Structure 1
Amino acid sequence: MNKIAILTSGGDAPGMNAAIRAAVRKGIHEGLEVFGIYNGFQGLIEGKIEQLDAGSVGDIIQRGGTMLHSSRCPEFKTAEGQAEGLRQLRERGIEGLVVIGGDGSFRGAQALSELGFACVGVPGTIDNDIRGTDYTLGFDTALNTVIDAIDKIRDTATSHERTFIVEVMGRDAGDLALWAGVAGGAESILIPERPHDIKEIISRLRQGTGRGKKHSILIVAEGVMTGHALAGQLKEAADIETRVSVLGHIQRGGSPTGRDRVLASKFGARAVEVLIEGKTGVAVGMRNHAVIDYPLTEVFSRREGMEDGLYELSKELSI
């Protein structure tokens, strides 16, 4: 293998730049020519491909987002779009592709792999919802962003003796809400993987008030309902007044934590090694603190359940 390319796709996540940097410099270290594909699979179809050198990825390890930019590309889900992307790669003599992103990005990588092109996926998403790896790039940074917001909201909740609802990202996965809720001492945490009972939430709030508690924090993942919808339910069912904070896209931004930078460096370098070893249709990940690679098909199987122990612990500690 002499030439490889890298692209980022889907929602951005802190650590993507660090992974790009690692893949580029590892590739150059191994004697490869490395190309960057701008604007994800859309850019691949449009031929937005440029060769990168070591200097191209200088001073980006500390930056959030992705220097290669990103987009969503429905066209690449079609046979015609995939064929055009493949043509663009082969026309330039590129023999392997590193795809950094989430589930949708990995499906694009799998499609190219099934067409006979060597692809490896690097999990980059703040939701931590990629099956097969304990952690994804961006999760730790986003988690710390949410915790910082909860801490600041708690200050004003205490001052005004109010109940606050914090809505966080997580359409299908509740890792961010659960971890942030435990770390932030939330009274109730609503996640997509577990049913919720509005009566139980009210009971917990009243139990806290009964022992003299003056403020409360509730965390809700967007996949369950909006923060304002939860506020409406509490008002209607028990006349409980709340304030709502929707963190939104602030969770995706910011300089990656040290943990995400190191994880990205390991993932990016291992992705290049995987291509050199002649593997395709695989993802890199971390299990039990070791970097591994495993079939992309495993990513698309049914996701394992939420960490039951942590969810139960959140209830035990928020009495």
Structure 2
Amino acid sequence: MSKRVAVLTSGGDAPGMNACIRAIVIACEHLGYALIGYQHGYNGLINQEYESLSLNATHNLIQQGGTILHSARCEAFKSVQGAKDAARNLNTLGIDTLIVIGGDGSFRGAEHLSQYWPGQILGIPGTIDNDVAGCDATVGYYTAIDTAVSSIDKVRDTADAFERIFLVEVMGRHAGFLALNAALASAADYVIVPELFESEDAELKSIAAQIEARRQLKGPVSFIVVVAENVWPGGLSTLAERLSSQMQSEVRPVTLGHVQRGGSPVSQDRLLATKLGTHAVALVETDKNKVMVGEVNHKPVEVPLKATWENNKPLDDCSLSTMRITMNNRY
């Protein structure tokens, strides 16, 4: 009897989720599996809100941002009753395998569901934050970097025109991957990430010292600081006020916000999403269960769902050392 597979996208949307759905549809068609898509994340499981997915759904899908299945947070799913309702609905449709595309919060939900549903559960990492352990990159991360870099480039133009200090806040939740690599790729002057944050006074002293050193050499200068969200106590406006007071200069805060989640996925995200979606479907008739399908060193890996949030994912040492050199050797 043909296997029945279901897929959903949960948590924050990320460019490349549609490319991943497309790959899953094509792989299921190739192997003769029936596929349905649950809408609005785990809400769809509880409310039995779904649609059949076929090759017709894949037309022009790989380049679309967002997710055709939509996404949402679902507090009700965190309860025992919510998970039991979801399990009952999956059983009603005869689902053998559930594929969850999302971040660590989505994977926690999948682990929660597994206590009440005996079917196979597979995860695919989809989040711009890249904060899921066990994989080199998450679907959406590369596009978010490009979006942030494009925005910082534009900020640089006006910063140079007015010789002004700008603070640019990027997403990342509680991880500095996006901030660090966006800062490197845009040649920003300074970056503040949670992994390296020591204290407000220490960061302000370091930023001020670099600005003063530049002023000694060149006079008035522009200066771009990339800041990871949630890292500065009191938020970006508080940092802007303190730095403005200390430097006796105008400091402008810019929050990029949800624009980083949108847009057509870049080629790296399309490729990653396609490979991970295809590999996940290849695991359907195996004994692999409660695992995330990721990629390490360009090879697919399967990682226990719990390990994706219980283990810490460190920033890349090479990127860190490169940023330190560029921050301390600018003219």
Report the TM-score range of the alignment, normalised by the length of the smaller protein. over 0.9
Q: Is the 8 A contact 2:164 2:249 kept in 1?
A: no
What per-residue deviation string (whole Å, max 9, x for no partner) do you get for residues 56-87 of structure 1? 22221100000000000011111110010011
2:227 match: 220
* 1:70 aligned counterpart, secondary structure: coil
Q: Is the 8 A contact 2:131 2:313 kept in 1?
A: no
CA distance in 1 between counterparts of 2:214 and 2:318 reads 23
What per-residue deviation string (whole Å, max 9, x for no partner) do you get for residues 240-264 of structure 1? 3211211010000000001100100
Mapped pair 1:119 → 2:121: yes
CA distance in 2 between counterparts of 1:309 and 1:261 reads 25
Mapped pair 1:243 → 2:252: yes
Structure 2 residue ranges without an equivalent (≥5): none
Alignment of 1:231-310 (within 5 A): 231-310=240-319
CA distance in 1 between counterparts of 2:208 and 2:316 reads 24
CA distance in 2 between counterparts of 1:283 and 1:79 reads 23
Mapped pair 1:92 → 2:99: no
Mapped pair 1:102 → 2:103: yes
How much has 1:156 moved relative to structure 2?
A: 1.1
* 1:18 aligned counterpart, secondary structure: helix
TM-score normalised per structure 2 = 0.93
CA distance in 2 between counterparts of 1:18 and 1:305 reads 27
What per-residue deviation string (whole Å, max 9, x for no partner) do you get for residues 129-182 of structure 1? 000000000000000000011111111111111111101112210000000011
Q: Is the 8 A contact 2:108 2:306 kept in 1?
A: no
CA distance in 1 between counterparts of 2:285 and 2:64 reads 28
Amino acid aligned to 1:206: E
1:147 match: 149
Q: Over the residues paired in the alignment, what is the CA RMSD in angstroms?
A: 1.3
Amino acid aligned to 1:214: V
Q: Is the 8 A contact 1:171 1:192 kept in 2?
A: no
Amino acid aligned to 1:219: V
Amino acid aligned to 2:31: E
What per-residue deviation string (whole Å, max 9, x for no partner) do you get for residues 17-57 of structure 1? 00001011101110100001000001110000121111022
How much has 1:315 moved relative to structure 2?
A: 2.2
Alignment of 1:1-319 (within 5 A): 2-115=3-116, 116-196=118-198, 197=202, 198-212=204-218, 214-225=221-232, 226-318=235-327, 319=329
CA distance in 2 between counterparts of 1:309 and 1:264 reads 25
Q: Is the 8 A contact 1:191 1:223 kept in 2?
A: no
Q: Is the 8 A contact 2:19 2:273 kept in 1?
A: yes
* 2:205 aligned counterpart, secondary structure: helix
CA distance in 2 between counterparts of 1:316 and 1:238 reads 23
What per-residue deviation string (whole Å, max 9, x for no partner) do you get for residues 201-233 of structure 1? 110111122221621110001121232221111
* 2:284 aligned counterpart, secondary structure: helix
CA distance in 2 between counterparts of 1:312 and 1:211 reads 25
Q: Is the 8 A contact 1:3 1:94 kept in 2?
A: yes
Q: Is the 8 A contact 1:119 1:275 kept in 2?
A: no
* 2:155 aligned counterpart, secondary structure: helix
Amino acid aligned to 1:156: T
How much has 1:117 moved relative to structure 2?
A: 2.0
Q: Is the 8 A contact 1:113 1:280 kept in 2?
A: no
Structure 1 residue ranges without an equivalent (≥5): none
CA distance in 2 between counterparts of 1:168 and 1:303 reads 21
Amino acid aligned to 1:223: N
What per-residue deviation string (whole Å, max 9, x for no partner) do you get for residues 187-210 of structure 1? 110011112421111101111222
Q: Number of paired residues? A: 319
CA distance in 2 between counterparts of 1:187 and 1:206 reads 13
Q: Is the 8 A contact 1:112 1:118 kept in 2?
A: no
Greater displacement, 238-247 / 47-56: 238-247
Q: Is the 8 A contact 2:240 2:251 kept in 1?
A: yes
CA distance in 2 between counterparts of 1:111 and 1:275 reads 20
Q: Is the 8 A contact 2:7 2:37 kept in 1?
A: yes
